[in-house]
Amino acid sequence: MFLAHLLNQAGIEAVVVERKDREYVEGRVRAGVLEQVTVDLMRRLSISGRLDEIGLVHTGTNLSLDGRMIHIDMASLTGGSTVTVYGQQEVMKDLFDAAEKRDVRVVWNASDVTIQDADSARPNLAWHGENGAERLECDFIVGCDGFHGVSRSAIPPRVQKTFERVYPFGWLGILADVPPVDHELIYANHERGFALASMRSPTRSRYYLQCGLDEELADWSDERFWDELAIRLGPDVAARLTRGPSFEKSIAPLRSFVSEPMRWGRLFLAGDAAHIVPPTGAKGMNLAVSDVTMLGEAFEEFYRSGSTSGIDGYSSRALARVWKAERFSWWFTSLTHRFPNMDGFDRRIQMAEIDYISGSAAAQRALAENYVGLPL
Ligand code: DHB
């Protein structure tokens, strides 16, 4: 949707083909931390009205080790960069509302999507829609269809390399209409496992607990969730914790994944279609936004001047940033989670690294500049 708006703004015709309907996409709970590149793009597209009004600008974040809080003053460590808490669902709503007003065409409920002749001069897209079988001849196709989408598999295995880490735990997340425990986020490393205190608004909290991959939602009553969260955040923070009924509860697995290259012929991959990060650090949507920002520039250059240099450089340019975010998300996950095969040595190395971060401006700066988002 970001790319469709970018192209629309540049006078380049684009059609978005979506498997689900608008309600489904807007209803899916995703992460909620926007890097500056994402905020900047929303402003550039003039879709930042609600973001500017209700987005929560965070100048700092917190690490916690067995209840001991370590504040990271991101803004002063990075020369003024911040992140903005604003749910991905809200971003989608803004994109869809603006699409309706600006004639950005979205085809909903498209099933059996296939990509043909991606390496020819006229790639085409076929699908089954509300009007039966449809087909679109294109100059270019961009696969923004997520990890389970069809685009990546349209690239022949002989030209594709994939890299993967699967983590031996998941995240159990809840949403509840209670005030957040802190005005900033808390990434907590506890002997019993990771916890994250996040939020969507001053009256809506989002909390996560590291859990086993074999655990069942039915075994996690709200009471059990709040009790475990209180333990992992530690007594000082728990004393400020407001409990309440959850209205969303789900378990998500964690994965790192990259598929190279991000282009084959006239097919380009962007976002989760090409790469997955574990959620620690909230890089998923931000990375998709940086991919399509680069693609938008490349297509604009192509249609303006005929130059293919941006298009030809896209994959390596995008992957350079993707791998840095992969590295950071992997590192932040490794630093804060309890691994099943961890022994006393591993645990003390983790504790020593967090203690080192707490006393080193250099280490804090390395965390902060990655957290707020590396430059495009
Ligand atoms: C949220 C998710 C994350 O993965 C993260 O690092 C921070 C916040 C969230 O859903 O609020």
Contact predicate 262/314, CB 8 Å: yes
The arithmetic mean of pLDDT across residues 39-54, rounded, is 98
User: So what's the pLDDT on residue 331?
Assistant: 98
Where does the chain show beta strands of DSSP type E? 15-17, 33-34, 56-58, 61-65, 68-72, 83-85, 105-107, 111-116, 124-129, 132-137, 141-143, 161-176, 186-189, 195-201, 204-211, 246-260, 263-264, 267-269, 275-276
Distance from Cα 207 to the centre of ligand 1, integer Å: 9
Select from 29, 185, 330 the residue to mutate for testing ligand 1; criterion: most ligand atoms less than 8 Å from CB: 185
**Ligand 1 and 87: CB distance under 6 A:** no
Q: pLDDT band at residue 62, thresholds of 50, 70 and 90?
A: very high
Q: pLDDT band at residue 302, thresholds of 50, 70 and 90?
A: very high
Q: How many residues does the chain have?
A: 376
Q: How far apart are CA 129 and CA 112, in angstroms?
A: 9
**Ligand 1 and 198: CB distance under 6 A:** yes
Q: pLDDT band at residue 363, thresholds of 50, 70 and 90?
A: very high
The arithmetic mean of pLDDT across residues 187-196, rounded, is 98
Residue 323, classified by CB atoms within 10 Å of its CB into exposed (0-12), middle (13-18) or buried (19+), is: middle
pLDDT digits (tens, 9 = 90+) for 111-153: 999 999 999 999 999 999 999 999 999 999 999 999 999 999 9
What end-to-end distance do the CA atoms of the chain give, in Å? Answer: 19
**Ligand 1 and 336: CB distance under 6 A:** no
User: So what's the pLDDT on residue 35?
Assistant: 97
Distance from Cα 369 to the centre of ligand 1, integer Å: 17
Half-sphere exposure of 145 (CA within 13 A, CB side): 23
Residue nearest to atom 3 of ligand 1 (CA): 282
Query: What rounded mean pLDDT belongs to the chain?
Result: 97
User: So what's the pLDDT on residue 123?
Assistant: 98
Residue nearest to atom 10 of ligand 1 (CA): 31
Please identify, by atom number, the ligand 1 atom nearest to the C-alpha of residue 332.
6
Report the amino acid identity of residue 22.
R
Cβ-Cβ contacts under 8 Å for 299 (sequence gap 6 or more)? 7, 10, 12, 140, 310, 311
Distance from Cα 135 to the centre of ligand 1, integer Å: 38
Q: How far apart are CA 164 and CA 290, in angstroms?
A: 21
Q: pLDDT band at residue 279, thresholds of 50, 70 and 90?
A: very high
Distance from Cα 262 to the centre of ligand 1, integer Å: 26
pLDDT digits (tens, 9 = 90+) for 214-268: 999 999 999 999 999 999 999 999 999 999 999 999 999 999 999 999 999 999 9
The arithmetic mean of pLDDT across residues 58-82, rounded, is 98
Distance from Cα 87 to the centre of ligand 1, integer Å: 9
Q: List active site positions.
A: 58, 187, 279, 283, 371
User: So what's the pLDDT on residue 372?
Assistant: 98
pLDDT digits (tens, 9 = 90+) for 3-42: 999 999 999 999 999 999 999 999 999 999 999 999 999 9
User: So what's the pLDDT on residue 238?
Assistant: 98
Please identify, by atom number, the ligand 1 atom nearest to the C-alpha of residue 199.
11
Distance from Cα 343 to the centre of ligand 1, integer Å: 28
**Ligand 1 and 281: CB distance under 6 A:** yes
**Ligand 1 and 278: CB distance under 6 A:** no
**What domains, with CATH codes, occur in the chain?**
2-59+81-164+255-336 (3.50.50.60)
Residue nearest to atom 7 of ligand 1 (CA): 282
Contact predicate 258/275, CB 8 Å: yes
Select from 29, 30, 33 the residue to mutate for testing ligand 1; criterion: most ligand atoms less than 8 Å from CB: 33
Select from 28, 199, 208, 246 the residue to mutate for testing ligand 1; criterion: most ligand atoms less than 8 Å from CB: 208
Residue nearest to atom 9 of ligand 1 (CA): 31
User: So what's the pLDDT on residue 274?
Assistant: 98
User: So what's the pLDDT on residue 298?
Assistant: 98
User: So what's the pLDDT on residue 34?
Assistant: 98
DSSP 3-state of 366: helix
